[in-house]
């Protein structure tokens, strides 16, 4: 991870200055810079993601960002916060790219936040010091990179505004599947830790960080994993009713990073269907504080049920 090497002398370039007006209070726009959770959502150009961010938001604290390109290539930058004056001014430095802990260039970034007729005018000034001439292409592309990055910042500021409204949205769905397996086999796939691990996870690029399972009245189930985007999701359930080979009733919370996004009540019923089993899952969910589900919970549950069926065939 690149850090400026003491004593190196580079070539300085003309600073970049870019402004953007946000229809939000200064404190809220400033907040979007203040934590790793926020920065992972927006601190990268279009089509890039931030799988890793460390933000120790205090003067002298470390700022470390990994940006991942669409082709999977990763670009690391590491620096420190020099000045933090909420909600007016932020100054930090980053060493970017390079090998052997020596950056291709450093960027000294100064961000100011001003009230502007009911909106916030944010100005980013970035001064560069070049140590490797191959970095000039990246600096030439900085204005466009910042433009699309600030587009993402607008979305994050809007998300924070909605989330702080403490809203709730109710949703429900019911899905059916018929499997060529006995109720006992299907119930095992739902209640046995090893059997459920074959289908109950995020798929390609998903890394399981924690898995617990105790299927009994009062028992808990927990699955925590990191997606390819770097976001960590947590499924945390409590079982209330367990009828072997026939029924499961449980409640669960879902979180993304440190943000709780929903609380659900779920029922799974198993019924003989010829030589197989019909499964019916019904969920009632409360989505919290502006989280926009857009039907993804129902679609995701359908994908998991199809994976369950595939696990029964293998």
Same domain, 103 and 201: no
Residues β-bridged to residue 81? 92
3-class secondary structure, 298: helix
Same domain, 20 and 150: yes
Cβ burial 186-202 (10 Å sphere, 16+ → b, else e): bbbbbbeeebbeebbbb
Cα first-last separation, the chain: 44
**Is residue 87 reached through a cis peptide bond, with omega within 30 degrees of 0 on the bond before it?**
yes
Structural domain boundaries, residue 124: 11-163
| pLDDT, position 9 | 56
| pLDDT, position 138 | 79
3 state SS for 193-207: HHHHHCCCCCCCCCE
pLDDT tens-place string over residues 114-163 = 988 779 999 999 999 988 877 787 788 899 999 999 999 999 998 888 77
- How many distinct structural domains can be found in the chain? 2
3-class secondary structure, 303: helix
Domain boundary among 116, 143, 163: 163
Residues β-bridged to residue 176? 280
Same domain, 182 and 206: yes
- Is 74 a domain residue? yes
Residue 2 reports pLDDT greater than 50: no
Domain boundary among 163, 189, 213: 163
8 class by beta-carbon count within 10 Å (0-12 exposed, 13-18 middle, 19+ buried): exposed
- Is 150 a domain residue? yes
| pLDDT, position 108 | 95
CB 234 within 8 A of CB 224: yes
> What is the mean predicted confidence (pLDDT) over 252-262?
91
pLDDT tens-place string over residues 152-195 = 999 999 888 877 777 788 999 999 999 999 999 999 999 999 99
Residues β-bridged to residue 34? none
3-class secondary structure, 183: helix
Same domain, 244 and 178: yes
- Is 176 a domain residue? yes
| pLDDT, position 163 | 73
Q: Return the axis-axis angle of helices 296-313 and 183-191, rounded to nearest 10°.
A: 120
Same domain, 225 and 302: yes
Same domain, 62 and 190: no
Same domain, 146 and 268: no
33 class by beta-carbon count within 10 Å (0-12 exposed, 13-18 middle, 19+ buried): buried
DSSP string, 102-160: B-SEEEEEEEEEEEETTEEEEEEEEEEEESSGGGHHHHHTHHHHHHHHHHHHHHHHHHH
| pLDDT, position 8 | 54
Same domain, 88 and 63: yes
| pLDDT, position 78 | 92
pLDDT tens-place string over residues 54-103 = 999 999 999 999 999 999 999 899 999 999 999 999 999 999 875 456 78
pTM over 0.75: no
Same domain, 179 and 151: no
267 or 138, higher pLDDT: 267
Number of Cβ within a 10 Å radius of residue 100 = 6
- Is 261 a domain residue? yes
CA distance 36 to 120: 22
CB 154 within 8 A of CB 282: no
- Is 266 a domain residue? yes
Same domain, 131 and 175: no
pLDDT tens-place string over residues 7-64 = 455 677 788 999 999 999 899 999 999 999 999 999 999 999 999 999 999 999 999 9
Tokens of 283: 């969920």
Same domain, 140 and 216: no
Same domain, 157 and 235: no
| pLDDT, position 101 | 62
- Is 144 a domain residue? yes
Domain boundary among 106, 131, 163: 163
Looking up residue 54, the CATH number of its domain turns out to be 3.30.530.20
CB 183 within 8 A of CB 277: yes
- Is 77 a domain residue? yes
- Is 52 a domain residue? yes
**Which residue spans within the chain are E strands per DSSP?**
11-12, 16-22, 49-55, 62-68, 74-85, 89-96, 105-116, 119-130, 168-179, 207-213, 220-226, 232-243, 247-256, 259-273, 276-288
Candidate from 63-67, 100-104, 273-277, 297-301 with smallest mean pLDDT: 100-104
């Amino acid at each position: 991870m690149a850090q400026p090497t003491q004593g190196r002398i580079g070539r300085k370039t003309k600073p970049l200055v870019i402004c953007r007006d946000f229809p939000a209070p200064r404190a809220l726009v400033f907040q979007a810079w203040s934590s790793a959770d926020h920065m992972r959502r927006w601190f990268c150009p279009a089509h890039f993601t931030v799988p890793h961010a460390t933000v120790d938001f205090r003067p002298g604290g470390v700022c470390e960002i990994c940006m991942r390109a669409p082709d999977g290539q990763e670009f690391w930058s590491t620096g420190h916060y020099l000045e933090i004056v909420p909600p007016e001014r932020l100054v930090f430095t980053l060493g970017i790219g390079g090998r052997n802990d020596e950056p291709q260039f450093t960027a000294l970034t100064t961000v100011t936040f001003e009230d502007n007729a009911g909106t916030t005018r944010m100005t980013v000034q970035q001064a560069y010091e070049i140590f490797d001439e191959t970095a000039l292409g990246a600096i030439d592309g900085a204005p466009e990179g910042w433009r699309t990055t600030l587009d993402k910042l607008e979305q994050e500021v809007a998300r924070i505004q909605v989330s702080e409204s403490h809203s709730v949205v109710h949703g429900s769905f019911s899905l059916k599947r018929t499997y060529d397996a006995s109720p006992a086999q299907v119930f095992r796939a739902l209640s046995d830790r090893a059997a459920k691990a074959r289908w109950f996870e995020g798929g390609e690029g998903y890394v399981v960080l924690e898995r617990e399972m105790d299927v009994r009245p009062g028992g808990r189930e927990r699955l925590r994993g990191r997606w390819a985007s770097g976001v960590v999701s947590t499924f945390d359930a409590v079982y209330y009713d367990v009828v072997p080979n026939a029924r499961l009733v449980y409640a669960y919370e879902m979180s993304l990073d440190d943000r709780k996004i929903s609380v659900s009540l779920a029922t799974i019923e198993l019924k003989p269907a010829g030589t197989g089993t019909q499964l019916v899952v019904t969920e009632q969910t409360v989505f919290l504080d502006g989280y926009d589900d857009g039907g993804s919970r129902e679609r995701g549950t359908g994908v998991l049920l199809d994976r369950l069926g595939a696990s029964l065939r293998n």
